[in-house]
């Protein structure tokens, strides 16, 4: 069995709502319409059938923060979230055996954040929520999330995190745009890694005991640079000019193993899968592909991710955990 824990889907009604309310060209609309498997359910089902993927966990896109005029207006932000989450609920109702829903949560203020959380989790019965992280959105360790994270722990609801810096976040302060795709290719790994560090060193795993954060792109930079990170934490904690206080115990790097990570490597990368497996541990690695974001609408990423897992030096029993058993346990799914 295979359950892909990190895929994306969207809907024309939502894209049009964002376009109507945006004062600048909405580039995500152009991208999403180019990817047939992003909007067309039959194309998505054909992809799943070809690679014998039983279920897709859907992280709907784009995030509300992608349109400033919507995000900064609490009424519009909540309306946008309801449009996207309702469309996803309708999709899942038609194909309950194929799709598992994760809700976008508006973060403009606490009231709409909690209202939409309660609606999607208690009424629509979604399996999780997601938030975006990056330098242009609210810091993930902001106290505004306190009530949300407490509810997620109470209800055993996982929180997916997705990087979000836009092309307008430049590589240098004297420029207005990022060049050569740096904002996404490297920048998004930085966004996820920064969020992981902020959450961990601010004591999130101690404050919200049992919370499940699911990180995109194989855990970003943390597993790869764990020795460098830990050395830096230890050095700078004693230097007043660089000091950031934390109450967590040493070794700091061990606390990062509380995160769950997917296997989205965007190519044939068995060594990256092995690194995630060795650092985060077998129970915290989940099959995830980032469908449909390759030039063939997810066919490349699905094939290459499956091949990467199968080629990694991991036992067959542990590969089963990665492909479906871990996410089944996290979401308390019933599978035959």
Confidence of residue 242 (pLDDT cuts 50, 70, 90): confident
Task: Determine the straight-line distance between the first and last CA of the chain, rounded to whole angstroms.
Answer: 10
- Across the chain, mean pLDDT equals 96
318 near 280, Cβ under 8 Å? no
Angle, helices 146-154/110-118, rounded to nearest 10 degrees: 20
> 132: which strand partners?
162
Question: What distance in Å separates the CA atoms of residue 260 and residue 88, rounded to the nearest whole number?
Answer: 24
What's the whole-number mean pLDDT along residues 186-207?
A: 97
Burial class (CB in 10 A: 0-12, 13-18, 19+), 309: buried
Share of residues in the chain with pLDDT > 90 (%) = 92
Residue 145's pLDDT is: 98
Beta strands 260-262 and 128-133, pairing class: unpaired
Tokens 């449909």: give the residue.
292
- State how far Cα 16 lies from the chain centre: 23
* pLDDT at residue 235 greater than cutoff 90: no
**DSSP code of residue 312:** S
Q: Give me 216's structure tokens.
A: 């995109």
Q: Where are the alpha helices (DSSP H) in 239-290?
A: 270-280
């Amino acid at each position: 069995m295979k359950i892909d824990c990190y895929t994306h889907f969207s809907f024309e009604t939502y894209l049009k709502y964002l376009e109507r309310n945006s004062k600048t060209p909405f580039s995500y609309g152009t991208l999403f319409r180019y990817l047939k498997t992003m909007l067309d359910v039959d194309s998505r089902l054909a992809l799943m059938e070809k690679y014998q993927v039983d279920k897709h966990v859907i992280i709907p896109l784009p995030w509300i923060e992608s349109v400033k005029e919507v995000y900064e207006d609490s009424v519009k932000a909540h309306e946008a979230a309801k449009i996207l989450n309702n469309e996803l609920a309708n999709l899942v109702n038609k194909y309950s055996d194929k799709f598992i829903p994760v809700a976008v949560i508006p973060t403009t203020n606490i009231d709409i954040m909690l209202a939409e959380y309660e609606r999607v989790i208690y009424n629509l019965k979604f399996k999780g929520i997601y938030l975006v992280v990056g330098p242009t959105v609210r810091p993930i360790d902001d106290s505004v999330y306190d009530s949300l994270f407490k509810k997620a722990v109470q209800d055993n609801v996982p929180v997916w995190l997705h990087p979000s810096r836009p092309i307008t976040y430049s590589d240098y302060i004297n420029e207005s745009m990022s060049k050569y795709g740096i904002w996404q290719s490297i920048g998004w790994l930085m966004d996820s890694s920064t969020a992981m560090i902020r959450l961990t060193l601010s004591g999130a795993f101690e404050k919200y005991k049992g919370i499940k954060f699911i990180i995109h792109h194989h855990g970003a930079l943390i597993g790869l640079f764990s020795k460098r990170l830990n050395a830096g934490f230890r050095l700078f904690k004693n230097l007043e000019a660089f000091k950031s206080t934390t109450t967590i115990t040493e070794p700091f790097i061990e606390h990062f193993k509380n995160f769950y990570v997917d296997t989205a490597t965007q190519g044939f990368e068995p060594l990256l899968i092995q690194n995630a497996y060795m650092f985060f541990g077998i129970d915290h690695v989940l099959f995830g592909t980032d469908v449909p974001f390759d030039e063939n609408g997810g066919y490349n990423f699905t094939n290459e991710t499956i091949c990467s897992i199968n080629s990694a030096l991991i036992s067959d029993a542990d590969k089963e955990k990665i492909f479906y058993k871990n996410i089944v346990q996290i979401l308390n799914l019933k599978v035959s």
